[in-house]
Amino acid sequence: MHKLFGDKLHLDWKIAVITVVSTLLLIVEYYHFPLLPWTNLFPGWDATGLSMKVIDRTILYFIIPMFIILVIFREQPQNYGFTLGDWKAGIVITLGAIILISPILWVVGRENASMQNYYKSMVTGLPWSTLLDLFGWEFIFRGWLLFGYTRKFGSEGIWLQAVPFALAHIGKPELETLSTIFGGFAFGWVAWRTKSFIYPLLIHWFVATFTIIVAAGLLG
């Protein structure tokens, strides 16, 4: 019987919760947007698709994971990157990343038609719209998933969180989606190095905002 079923199975219940819940949250957002009828809950509010998306992502990707961290795991948010961490390294890495990737974003945003078609209509509300949209998104990947996985699997957890991040981009321009497994790893490394999800959030904020501005032709 032992040979048939192999070694005894040992599962880390927190890893199971992080993996299952994060997967379900991504699926729920895909199939149930908007999450709630916000315009019915707040009569007279002229909610745009983006503003509803911001609310949904904040609930799904920040409030729910944070509730689990505090109430179910009974841990401190700092354990999952909700801290300034090594802010000196964070500032240097963030500024360096912005300088390095700006020329690439400029070329891609100006030359790739699919990027232009996808992003040119997202100018309204910049730059705060992209920050609010990405806050929960970055927390679930570079906070909850990354630090949950790296605590169990070491630095290999950086790759593990990059996989669902890349798959969540399916439906966006192909060039962007193909790059996200590498971008997800890079964002994860920044969070792992600084012990904070704040710095990949800042870099991602710049990437999204600058891409939209260039794709919309606002820089000439």
Q: Are 19 and 68 in contact (CB under 8 A)?
A: no
Q: How many other β-carbons are positioned within 10 Å of the β-carbon of residue 153?
A: 14
CA distance 24 to 153: 22
Give the pTM: 0.90
The mean pLDDT value of the chain amounts to 89
Residue 218: the pLDDT is 80
Q: Are 207 and 105 in contact (CB under 8 A)?
A: yes
Confidence of residue 39 (pLDDT cuts 50, 70, 90): low
Residues 48, 53, 55, 56: what is their CA dihedral angle, to the nearest 10 degrees?
A: 140
Domain ranges of the chain: 2-215
Over residues 14-21, mean pLDDT: 96
Residue 128: the pLDDT is 87
Q: How many other β-carbons are positioned within 10 Å of the β-carbon of residue 10?
A: 5
Residue 110: the pLDDT is 86
Residue 6: the pLDDT is 60
Tell me: pLDDT of 7 over 80: no
Percent of the chain predicted with pLDDT > 70: 90
Residues 132, 109, 175, 177: what is their CA dihedral angle, to the nearest 10 degrees?
A: 0
- Chain segment 163-219, per-residue pLDDT in tens: 999 999 999 999 999 999 999 999 999 999 999 999 999 999 999 999 999 988 887
Residue 178: the pLDDT is 94
Residue 1: the pLDDT is 46
CA 94 to chain centre: 16
Half-sphere exposure of 36 (CA within 13 A, CB side): 11
Select, from the ranges 41-45, 116-120, 148-152, the one with the highest average predicted confidence (pLDDT).
Answer: 148-152
**Integer angstrom CA distances of residue 72 from 13, 17, 65, 136:** 11, 10, 10, 19
CA angle 124, 129, 133 (to 5 degrees): 135
Residue 109: the pLDDT is 84
CA distance 135 to 137: 5
CA distance 41 to 182: 40
**The tokens of 67 are what?**
């509730």
Over residues 88-111, mean pLDDT: 94
- Chain segment 135-171, per-residue pLDDT in tens: 999 999 999 999 999 999 999 999 999 999 999 999 9
